[in-house]
Structure 1
Amino acid sequence: MLFTLPHPVHFEIEIKKSRFLACVEPITDRASALAHIAALKARHPTAAHVCWALMAGGHSAANDDGEPSGTAGRPMLEVLRHQQLEGVLASVVRYYGGVKLGAGGLVRAYTDSVARALDQAERLPLIRQQTLQCRAPYPMEGKLRRLLQAQGATLLGVQHDTDVQLDFSCAAHDSDRLIAFLNESCHGQLQWLAAN
């Protein structure tokens, strides 16, 4: 099972006079992550490196930002994979303290920074959602809204035309059961338009 984070977590560590400022936070996609990293670099203009790793939308990415290849971004990414996280960005800002750590020391520093930030993180199970659309006669709208809310579905939109169209999402693993329940509760008066 995959997990995500409800809010950012931070950790700071000093190793041989170098400061490592780690943050792991929820993020939806690569474009948002890149914008966030650019803003982070702007906030820390004197930092030696701003390394990062991303797991979002089923895609992964990592960047060493000038550290020796494979000593920062990739180890951070492995921590995210090992902890089964999705939709998260890990970033570590390094202020160089004048003492070289070597490749092994860098891998440990970046790995530990992210792992220790995650030690204090609350994890939320990531449940894949499915979007459904149905049409119903106007008199059924109120009942249908109440049924959706009672079943834990999220109403995304309502359109009024010759009848009412409701767009909603639910847990993908529960969609077949919900469709059957709504059909029975509404006495077969629903017309299903799409299932994404």
Structure 2
Amino acid sequence: MSNPLYILSAPSRHQETIRKSRFRAHAVHVESVDAAMTWLARTRDAAATHNCWAYRIGSHYRFDDDGEPGGSAGQPILQAIDGQHCAETVVMVTRWFGGTKLGVGGLVRAYGGTAAECLHHAKRHLQVQYRHLSLRCEASNLARLHARCSHFGAQLGSPDWQENRIEIDITIPEKSFAEFTEWFANLTRGHGRSRDITSNCHKFPSDPAPRSSA
């Protein structure tokens, strides 16, 4: 079973000084690659020595070392995003060189660790996959549908009345879909119909993310 994913509900910031170099991490939630690149351009500090970054947006990811040795900055930031199970997230770690070289291993720990701490302390919410269905059934079933919505974590739309039948949209968490489908079939004695409209990911604000011990 895959780990649940979380999205940031507010920007996060964390700063550390490591062997005289100052590392400052910023992290935000973004919904597209274009939004990530716009934010990176705006956040970049031209006076800093390096502005290294990474993002993970669905299956899309990218990272940049901005002049640091290859694999020592951007990739550790991306690994921090994945390690904290964050989705739709972009992180920039800015470095002001303090005169002491850290070596590749030291840079990996500095960039990855600063990014991980930034995400660790961020306000996050669970990302939930939802199904959007259109239901068609006898109008007499409507009261039972309303009564069971909270059990499935679902939300009903407004019914479209068609004589003694109704058509109504429902939004339901993916994890409840199979159970709901079985219940709906029993409720309507096999005469009800459901049509899958679409599926989307949303944050679920009542379930804050647990803090990782990593």
TM-score grouping bracket, smaller chain normalisation: 0.7 to 0.9
Mean Cα displacement is larger for which, 186-195 or 82-91?
Answer: 186-195
Answering whether residue 115 of structure 2 is matched by residue 111 of structure 1, we say: no
Structure-2-length-normalised TM-score: 0.71
TM-score, length basis structure 1:
0.76
1:31 to 34, 56, 78: 34
Displacement of 1:4 in angstroms is: 1.0
Offset at residue 68 of structure 1 (A): 2.4
Structure-1 separation of matches of 2:137 and 2:41: 48
Instruction: Identify the range of structure 1 (164-173 vs 102-111) with the bigger mean alpha-carbon deviation.
Output: 164-173
TM-fit CA distance, 1:165? 4.1
**Structure 2 unaligned spans of 5+:** 199-214
Q: 2:57 maps to what in 1?
A: 56
The whole-number CA distance in structure 2 between the counterparts of 1:52 and 1:62 is 6
Q: Partner residue of 1:168?
A: 170
- The amino acid across from 1:134 in the alignment is L
Structure 1: unaligned runs, 5 residues or longer:
none
Shift in CA distance, 194/118, structure 1 to aligned 2, threshold 3 Å:
closer
Paired position in structure 2 for 1:88? 89
Equivalent residues, number: 193
The amino acid of 2:26's aligned partner reads: C
Does the 8 A contact of 1:28 with 1:57 survive in 2? no
- Report the CA distance between 1:154 and its aligned residue: 3.7
**Greater strand proportion:** 2
Q: Which moved more, 1:181-190 or 1:86-95?
A: 181-190
Contact conserved, 1:29 with 1:56, CA < 8 A, in 2? yes
Q: 4+ residue stretches of structure 1 with deviation over 6 A?
A: none
